[in-house]
Every structure is written in structure tokens, then in C-alpha cells.
């Protein structure tokens, strides 16, 4: 058994066998003083996911330290599961996957193939040292990567098999692990165990709220009309004037306001300003777009190019016309930051120097 590999990739069957060999079960993890370092490290994994987008890893020399690292993984997953926040789940899954990518890129081929098999991806090493995988797996894992290097025209494909250097293969395994973790969480945690996790759950919940506050374009202060891009200003004026909004416009407003941190009650108030407002007709559409009916995250607001395609780009100003301006949320954030910078500047002395 390779205990170093077990610690590096705690989702492997080998890691579970390592824990079982050392009689490290769930009850011991939660109650035994011997596993207190694993509980501390488990909380650290989740907090690092929130703060740094990546779980750290330091090479561990003793089997005890490696066992602690292995056991910290299920503890972190229990914390995330008990909080039950989709944003936290996705952020945690990404952080664990990024860590794995960094490690896997430098691994021996045996470990690379073992990890890919664990993640449900059949792979093999070609004579030239590249790693090949089936085209359907490649398409599933690479479709979300938008850079030109991942386009099919730039891929080495022969007879339904894709050949990749190790760094690109590792990057795809990052997506595979992220998908795996997201699909497995939340875990069902027995009620009798929840008390042992309560303190760490509270600490992570507070950190989560702080992270969301920092990421909010409004710093948690709701919508401020002075920062809205011209397209949203125009759409909202149309709604207030009782004009019939196309579905694409309603979708843009709901997703944009949700991204600003507004909930259903606040968003429905915006539409309620319309003279012919009918909440019974609007409720389903809004909740569907927000993801409240499916229990998911809902939809993301459309980019500027999508707004233009849908005929919703109205009265663009100088900021809109900047080459780097590609999203209404970026417009909002830029306006907020501009005001903050202006507020920090010392006032000019109209009388001039004394």
C-alpha cells in the first residue's frame, strides 16, 4: 500500500483501505482525541476552499500524519454536507479538484491511471508517452473549457481516442473530480453525530457568509440604481411603464438581481412596479429562473454579447464601449469601485495652497 498516494488522493479506494487497516472509523474520527488533528485539518480544508480556491498540501513523512490527512477528507465533506449550501459545495469541490490537478500533473503514470479509473475515466499510456482517453469522456470533461487549445480542431484524435500530454489530462481529471464530489454531496449524517460537528459547522458558516458578502457586487447592500448598466435601466423603465417585456428581458433582470444578492421578495417588488403586474403569473417564472423550484443554483445573468444578440443592449455609454467590458455585472462592479476610489481621494482645496 502506498500511504503517500493515499494521503495525496484521499478519495481513492486505497485511502479507504489505509484507514480501515488502522481501524479509523467514523465514530473514532468524531470522538477520539487521536483524531483531533484530522478534525482541525478537515475544517481547514473547507476554509481554504472558501479563502483560496484550493486546498493546500504539504508532503507528509510519517504514516500517522498521512492517516490524519486521509481522515480529514471525510470530516471536511461532513461539514459541507451539514451546511448544505450549494455555493459552498461547488467551491469546496473545485478546491479539492484544483489541488488534485496540481499533484497529478507531476505523478508517475501508474498513479495517473489509478486516479482516472477511480474517477470513471478509462485511460492508457501511448508509446509516445501521451495519455489517451475515449472521445465521449474527453467531450464531457472538456466542453466547459473555453480556451482555444481545447477546441476539437486542436485536439489529437484518432479512431475515437484522444491523445493528451499529462498536464492537459490532469486538467480534465480536475473536472472529473469536481463533478464526482458535487454529485456525492450532501452526505446523510446521522443525527447523533451532528453535535460533534456543530462548532466547526458554525465557524465555516460564518466564513461562508463573509465570503459571500465580499463577492457580492453590492457588498450585501442590495441594488443601487446609480450603478446599473444602461441596458438594465432601460428594461426596468419598460417594466414600470407597463410595456410587455420579452422573456429574454425578464430573464436578464431576474438573473442580474439574483446575482446582486436579492431574494424572491425583493425581485418581485421590482416587477410589482408595473401597472399590469400579476404576481400569480410572475411567481413561477421568477422562482424557476432563480432555481428555487428545482433546488439548484438557478441561472447566471447573460453576458453583454448575449444581451446584444437578444436585442437588449440599449443606450451603451462610454464604459459599455470599453473593449474589456463584457458583462453587466462587471459594469456594476466597476461603477461601485469607481465611487469608492473617488470617496477615498482627499478633497481639493478651492483656495489653493496657502
Tell me what pLDDT residue 111 has: 96
Mean pLDDT is lowest, of 27-31, 58-62, 176-180, 210-214, for: 210-214
Residue 3 has pLDDT above 80, yes or no: yes
Tell me what pLDDT residue 339 has: 86
**Percentage of the chain exceeding pLDDT 90:** 66
Residue 354 has pLDDT above 80, yes or no: no
Residues in the chain: 354
Tell me what pLDDT residue 62 has: 97
Q: How far is CA 18 from CA 23, 43, 194, in A?
A: 9, 21, 25
Tell me what pLDDT residue 222 has: 62
Tell me what pLDDT residue 217 has: 53
Three-state SS at 232: helix
247-259 and 230-240 helices, crossing angle to 10°: 120
In which residue are the cell numbers 447566471 written?
Answer: 300
**Percentage of the chain exceeding pLDDT 70:** 93
Task: State how far Cα 205 lies from the chain centre.
Answer: 16
Work out the angle at residue 39's Cα, subtended by the Cα atoms of residues 38 and 44, and round it to the nearest 5 degrees: 95
Q: What is the pLDDT of residues 177-193, one digit of tens each?
A: 999 999 999 999 999 99
Three-state SS at 308: helix
Mean pLDDT is lowest, of 67-76, 144-153, 220-229, 255-264, for: 220-229
Q: What is the C-alpha separation between 178 and 185, in angstroms, rounded? A: 11
Q: What is the C-alpha separation between 234 and 314, in angstroms, rounded? A: 7
Residue 324 has pLDDT above 60, yes or no: yes
Tell me what pLDDT residue 92 has: 96
pLDDT grade, residue 352 (50/70/90)?
low
Tell me what pLDDT residue 296 has: 67
Tell me what pLDDT residue 184 has: 96
Whether the bond into 143 is cis, omega within 30 of 0: no
Mean per-residue pLDDT over the chain, rounded: 90
Radius of gyration of the chain (CA): 25
Residue 275 has pLDDT above 70, yes or no: no
Residues 299-320 have a mean pLDDT of: 94
Q: What is the pLDDT of residues 212-267, one digit of tens each?
A: 777 655 555 567 888 999 999 999 888 887 788 889 999 999 999 988 888 888 88
Measured in degrees and rounded to the nearest 5, phi and psi for residue 132 equal -115, 150
Residues 6+ apart with CB under 8 A from 269: none
Three-state SS at 319: coil
Measured in degrees and rounded to the nearest 5, phi and psi for residue 188 equal -85, 115
Tell me what pLDDT residue 99 has: 97
Tell me what pLDDT residue 219 has: 53
Q: Whole-prediction pTM value?
A: 0.70
Residues 60-71 have a mean pLDDT of: 97
Question: Which residue ranges make up each domain of the chain?
Answer: 1-84+188-215, 105-185, 225-343
Amino acid at each position: 500500500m502506498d500511504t503517500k498516494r493515499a494521503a495525496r488522493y484521499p478519495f481513492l479506494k486505497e485511502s479507504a483501505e489505509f484507514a480501515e487497516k488502522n481501524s479509523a472509523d467514523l465514530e473514532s474520527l468524531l470522538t477520539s482525541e487521536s483524531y483531533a488533528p484530522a478534525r482541525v485539518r478537515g475544517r481547514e480544508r473547507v476554509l481554504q476552499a472558501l479563502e483560496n480556491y484550493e486546498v493546500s498540501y504539504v508532503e507528509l513523512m510519517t504514516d500517522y500524519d498521512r492517516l490524519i490527512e486521509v481522515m480529514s477528507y471525510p470530516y471536511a465533506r461532513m461539514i459541507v454536507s451539514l451546511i448544505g449550501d450549494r455555493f459552498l459545495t461547488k467551491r469546496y469541490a473545485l478546491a479539492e479538484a484544483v489541488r488534485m490537478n496540481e499533484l497529478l500533473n507531476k505523478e508517475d503514470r501508474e498513479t495517473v491511471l489509478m486516479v482516472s479509473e477511480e474517477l470513471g475515466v478509462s485511460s492508457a499510456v501511448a508509446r509516445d508517452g501521451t495519455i489517451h482517453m475515449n472521445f465521449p469522456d474527453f467531450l464531457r470533461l472538456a466542453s466547459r473549457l473555453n480556451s482555444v487549445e481545447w477546441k476539437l480542431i486542436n485536439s489529437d484524435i484518432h479512431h475515437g481516442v484522444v491523445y493528451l500530454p499529462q498536464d492537459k489530462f490532469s486538467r480534465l481529471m480536475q473536472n472529473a473530480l469536481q463533478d464526482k464530489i458535487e454529485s456525492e454531496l450532501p452526505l446523510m449524517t446521522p443525527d447523533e453525530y451532528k453535535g460533534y460537528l456543530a462548532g466547526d459547522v458554525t465557524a465555516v458558516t460564518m466564513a461562508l457568509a463573509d465570503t459571500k458578502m465580499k463577492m457580492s457586487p453590492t457588498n450585501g447592500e442590495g441594488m443601487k440604481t446609480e450603478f446599473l448598466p444602461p441596458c438594465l435601466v432601460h428594461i426596468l423603465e419598460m417594466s414600470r411603464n407597463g410595456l410587455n417585456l420579452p422573456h429574454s428581458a425578464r430573464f436578464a433582470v431576474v438573473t442580474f438581481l439574483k446575482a446582486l444578492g436579492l431574494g424572491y421578495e425583493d425581485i418581485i417588488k421590482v416587477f410589482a412596479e408595473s401597472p399590469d403586474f400579476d404576481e400569480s403569473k410572475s411567481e413561477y417564472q421568477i422562482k424557476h429562473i432563480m432555481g428555487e423550484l428545482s433546488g439548484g443554483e438557478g441561472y447566471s445573468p447573460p453576458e453583454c454579447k448575449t444581451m446584444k444578440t437578444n436585442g437588449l443592449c440599449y443606450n451603451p455609454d462610454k464604459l459599455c464601449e470599453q473593449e474589456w467590458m463584457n458583462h453587466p455585472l462587471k459594469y456594476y462592479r466597476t461603477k461601485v469601485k469607481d465611487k469608492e476610489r473617488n470617496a477615498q481621494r482627499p478633497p481639493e482645496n478651492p483656495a489653493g495652497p496657502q
